[in-house]
Amino acid sequence: MSIVLYWHPLSSATPIACALTELGVPHERVKVDIRTGEQHRPEYLALNPNGKVPTLTVDGAPMFEALAIHLWLGNRFGVERGLWPAAGTPESLQALSWCTWAYVTYGTVLKHLHVATQGDEALRSPVHAEVAIRGLNELLALLDARLAMQPWMLGADYSLVDLVVGSVLGYSVYLGAPVNAHPHVQAWLARVQARPAMQIDA
């Protein structure tokens, strides 16, 4: 199986690179310079019509959207490596739920914060930023309650779910999300980010 990751360092593609490293999956990396607009070239748009990274090709067949790639990697490689729950188990339902929660539920509120604080000047708003912070705080409280009962997202052992959720939350700290107000989340995130596979920046 030939796997190629089209990515750019310190972008939304970085968690995919980390997941491939965590799983020990042989792959090739092709850097797409998003600073110079390489993601908008016709040959790249043929792989990813969004014109963004990441893109993963599997034997030449393209796949895009980071969440979809994470879920595919988990199911394809994670089960046999003990990093993803087997299909049909209660844990597999939790894995799908929390990964989607991170990218969709938490991610949507995070996008509001980004627009209100770092987006177009005309759209910036302290009021909207405060509303977004409040929403993130409520979501982080849910996660904190879960992590108060267990060390990792699915229980006693680390999994790719920790990598996926942790990647989104790590980025949210940079944008000003109140992660540090939730001690169990803060401690868990530090453990996730300390893993060797997460040390990818180039």
Place of tokens 């530090």: 190
Encode pLDDT of 18-30 as tens digits.
Answer: 999 999 999 999 9
Which pTM does this prediction carry? Answer: 0.93
Residue 123, pLDDT above cutoff 80: no
Report the distance separating Cα 118 and Cα 171, nearest Å. Answer: 14
Q: How much is the average pLDDT of 141-155?
A: 98
Backbone angles phi, psi at 152, to 5 degrees: -130, 170
3-state helix, strand, coil in the chain (%, to 5): 60, 10, 30
Please choose, from the candidates 101, 92, 86, 91, the residue with its C-alpha nearest in 3D space to the C-alpha of residue 140.
101
Report the distance separating Cα 114 and Cα 10, nearest Å. Answer: 17
Report the distance separating Cα 143 and Cα 145, nearest Å. Answer: 5
| Contact between 31 and 202 (Cβ < 8 Å) | no
35 contacts: CB under 8 Å, gap ≥ 6: 8
Residue ranges and CATH numbers for the domains of the chain are 3-78 (3.40.30.10), 90-197 (1.20.1050.10)
Report the distance separating Cα 185 and Cα 110, nearest Å. Answer: 16
